[in-house]
Amino acid sequence: MERAGRRVNMFDHRAELDVLMSSLRATASGRPGLTVVESAAGLGKTTLVEAFAAEVRRTLPEALVLRARCDELEHDFPFGVVRQLFEPLVATWSEEKAEQMFAGPAEPATHVFSSVPCVGEANAFGDAPRGVLHGLFRLSLRIAATAPLVLLVDDIHKADSPSLRWLRYLVRKNTQAPVLVVATVRTGDAHECLRTLDPGPDHNVLRLTRFTEAQVVAVLTELLPPDLTPELLISCARLTGGNPLLVRALVTSVTADRACSSIQPDALPPRTIGRFADFVRNWLATTSPATREFAAALAVLGSARERDLVSRLAGLDDLTALRAENELRDFGLLEPCVEPSWAHPLARESVLDQLSTERRQQLHLRAAKLLYDDGTDPERVCGHLLDVSTPQEPWVAAVLLAAADDAAMRGAPDSAARYLTRALDEPLAESDRLRAEVDLGLSEAIHQPSMAHRRLVKVLELVDNPVQRAEIAEVLADVALREGRFREADTLLTRVAKDVAPIDRDAAVRLDALRLSAQVLHGTGQTVATDSPQQTRTPSERAILAAQAAAALSTPGWTAAAVAELAERALAPGVRHMPALAVQHAVRALAIAGHGANATRYCDEAIRHARRTRSVVGLITLIDARSRIALWTGNLAEALKFNEEAMVNLPLDHWGRLRAIPLATRMVILAERGDVDEAGRIADDLVDAPVDIRFDVARTRAAQGRIHEALEACDTDQTAGWHWAALISRLHLALDDIPRAGQWAAHATEQASSWGSARAIGVTLRVAGEVATGRAAVDLLTRSAAILDSPATRLELAGSLLSLATAQARHGMTAAARRNFGAAAAEAEWCAARGLAERARAGALSAGARPRARATTGVGALTAGERRVADRAAAGQANRDIAATLHLTLRTVETHLSAVYRKLGITGRAQLHEALTARTP
């Protein structure tokens, strides 16, 4: 019968197996991938994956194959799939290796595995999901750096939400590590599952179709008694609908002298599944009560990690349980393996369908109590308690609350919310009920802001402890901002800060800082007082300075140097305990004031700490600020990477009213890259955005050539910043309105001079040069390029070089124009600004330059990835720090640096800075 099972299950899935092996070869050569095997129930997708695993071990023995089988009972068990995949491997590591693998950015992953002691901090109910997801991502890359990693996930449509989010994070962010994910999914659940995974366009989908009637007849002819007529064989084949499990059930039943005369020759596949359930039910009716009890217990448990658990739940001694298990296996309901495991979900579902609701709840409650008495993880106990609706003994509430705490610490607030919701159905003491309501609101804040808002508003009035009120108010304000309730957040923070001030002054100052930061975020930052606080010793006091630095950007009279000094005072002592929302204001102000390197350093540090806090708005705006800093320094590839990370950490539909923040950043990046049409589609959604975002919309409209629409979006107030004046000047120039263009250019130059940053002066000189004519234009643009000749302003430098070359070509300075067209193209290519690079190359051709092949040596030969690594190495970063910053493996960083040394003709890191900054004569 084992031979028959193999013959029935595989049929001819050789083509699909070949596709999987092709994906494996691609992964081993450095191209990670995702393959989804989709089919209706029972068509052999599990068996195909098992055959693939065996083939991997045979043909690529160095590969590491990790497997997980999802189960609806573990749907609420946070990171259950991740644990199935990695815990058997992690448990084999020595303490030294575990410390090495979980070091640095992988540290938050320690909170997932029970076999690894937690290291560092973890904050309940906070943005732990982001830290844990990235920690698991880094851990996966480190494992894959030692050997190609193959992750096999069966029935992924039943996976827990945190594991699905991690898989999405892995397949979207991994671009180099040899990791192949193969997942099976049932037809009907595939669309929703793929929508959640959001894998991108490059994944493979293998759809297993039902086998043909001829194939099934051939198998039945081989395995059934020879006296059966061809007509009966065809009837059997039609009944199965090509389902291998049903074919095996028919083979088993016929060989056991069960009649097939009742089979309808024209039965449809959905009825075939129902017929299989009848086979199971009818067969179970003929077995002993012990076998039926064992089947019911195993169906409720889903799987049997501890063999004796099934027998205890069924109330059977070991020998009787073993006989029952063997009887189920002989019928084909269980896998032919050591532990009792269902051969197919349909087998388990058929048994569950025979149990009454009351009976199922009794078994789930008994299973929970057995697991609880065994000291099992609370979350596994709760997998059964969630299926029990009526209040029970006091231990039930205790284990639900404990599971909620564990889930929050492991970065699964959605699971914590389910446990807390169920716990509130139990009889609780008033203090425990209030704490559960608070924790439930904090858990809901990330992915269910509307529900969290209603709950926390109600709970806040019931909490007497002022410090706890401040904690709730901080999260509630975060939710209110995403819900577009700015005034409510402002009033709430003011009121609670006043209540808590007599007891905890620092907590009150922190709430005031958040209120001021929210005002800046909402575009009302001009009302923030610019008088510095008398004391700036605590993180909360420095958070007020941070908000003031951001407010100063839109307040007349401030210079870049003064804003930078204010932001440095706020950030220099450390950002660890400052509100993330305040830090993002300060780093943006510092970058705009021309201190991009320091802004990057502070922002990276703040992001690491913000992943452990509750501020969703703070974290995502920090990541967006990091994207903007990369954009301002001209690194469009890095800017796009951080923008995508912000949307992975919080899907766009959870940003609420703040969705304009990441969309505006993406719009500008796309416009600078030359994807003007896509940027324009985003601009269509941002017509009612705040003033700062309207500037980005106006720039995008200008790039589209929709000049009048761009002018309508502009702030034409004479007190508007230099960037507005420069844009308006260029728009009038595009309309051939030279007088107005000149007036606005002069105004922009005056304001930029008062502001004092190199970017502002260089950009406004470029605008003035574009308006001017003749030799004056060349002189102004030459000064602009000289001022912008810095690693912090490469994108602006490319624009000024292009304008300079264009002016020189018009003035008859052909040789100089060709050189500057080439320099503009080189700078634009480094920035990945394709549109600007194409215009520069077109200008060079029009000036008589000959197109050259891509360099194979020198700075121009470096790829974007090599250049990013080289720049950081030249700045003094260690290889391990570069790997953490760029989300690369240490081996990849070393490979990039070896290529850089070869192309630049140098021998080591000490020569990097000089080689990268050297100009071609």
pLDDT tens-place string over residues 272-301 = 456 677 777 877 888 889 999 999 999 888
- Dihedral sign, CA of 851, 855, 858, 863? positive
List the Cα angle 190/196/201 in 5-degree steps: 80
Write down the pLDDT at residue 462.
85
**pLDDT reading at 868 higher than 70:** yes
Write down the pLDDT at residue 338.
65
Write down the pLDDT at residue 804.
93
DSSP 389: -
Which of the pair, 213 or 119, is modelled with greater confidence? 213
**pLDDT reading at 567 higher than 70:** yes
What torsion do the CA atoms of 814, 815, 816, 822 make, to the nearest 10 degrees?
A: 100
Write down the pLDDT at residue 690.
64
- Dihedral sign, CA of 90, 93, 94, 99? negative
Tokens 């999802």 map to which residue? 70
Mean pLDDT value of segment 58-84? 84
Tell me: the pLDDT tens digits for 691-732?
668 888 989 999 989 999 888 888 777 667 899 899 999 999
Q: State which amino acid sits at residue 146.
A: T
**pLDDT reading at 399 higher than 80:** yes
Q: What percent of the chain has pLDDT over 70?
A: 81
**Least-confidence region, from 148-162, 176-190, 537-551, 800-814:** 176-190
- Rounded to 5 degrees, what are φ and ψ at 417? -65, -40
Q: State which amino acid sits at residue 357.
A: T
**Pairing relationship of beta strands 64-69 and 179-186 according to DSSP bridges:** unpaired
**pLDDT reading at 337 higher than 80:** no
**pLDDT reading at 531 higher than 70:** no
Closest by CA to 412, choosing from 458, 444, 434, is 444
**pLDDT reading at 919 higher than 50:** no
CA 479 to CA 459: how far, in whole Å? 14
Hey, how many other C-beta atoms are within 10 angstroms of the C-beta on 390?
Answer: 8
Q: What percent of the chain has pLDDT over 90?
A: 16
CA 112 to CA 263: how far, in whole Å? 50
Tokens of 194: 């793929």
Tokens of 207: 């759809």
Write down the pLDDT at residue 782.
93
28 contacts 178 by C-beta, under 8 angstroms: yes
**pLDDT reading at 88 higher than 80:** yes
Tell me: the pLDDT tens digits for 444-500?
877 787 888 888 888 888 888 887 888 888 888 888 887 778 888 888 888 888 888
Mean pLDDT value of segment 243-247? 63
Tell me: the pLDDT tens digits for 96-107?
888 888 888 888
**Least-confidence region, from 167-181, 205-219, 517-531, 537-551:** 517-531
**pLDDT reading at 4 higher than 50:** no
Average pLDDT, the chain: 81
pLDDT range class, residue 244, cuts 50, 70, 90: low
**pLDDT reading at 28 higher than 80:** yes
Across 77-220, the runs of DSSP E, i.e. the strands, are 149-154, 179-186, 204-208
Write down the pLDDT at residue 742.
92
**pLDDT reading at 12 higher than 80:** no
Write down the pLDDT at residue 629.
92
Tell me: the pLDDT tens digits for 646-666?
877 666 666 767 778 888 899
**Least-confidence region, from 423-432, 576-585, 642-651, 745-754:** 642-651
Mean pLDDT value of segment 896-905? 81
Write down the pLDDT at residue 240.
64
CA 457 to CA 485: how far, in whole Å? 13
Burial of 860 (0-12, 13-18, 19+ CB in 10 A): middle
Write down the pLDDT at residue 598.
92
847 contacts 818 by C-beta, under 8 angstroms: yes
Tell me: the pLDDT tens digits for 135-145?
898 899 999 98
486 contacts 624 by C-beta, under 8 angstroms: no
Write down the pLDDT at residue 786.
92
Write down the pLDDT at residue 119.
44
- Dihedral sign, CA of 249, 254, 258, 260? positive
Tell me: the pLDDT tens digits for 573-593?
988 888 888 898 899 999 999
Mean pLDDT value of segment 398-418? 81
**pLDDT reading at 3 higher than 50:** no
Q: How many residues does the chain have?
A: 921
Mean pLDDT value of segment 786-809? 90
Tokens 């090509």 map to which residue? 242
Bridge partner residues of 35 (DSSP): 182, 204
pTM (2 d.p.): 0.64
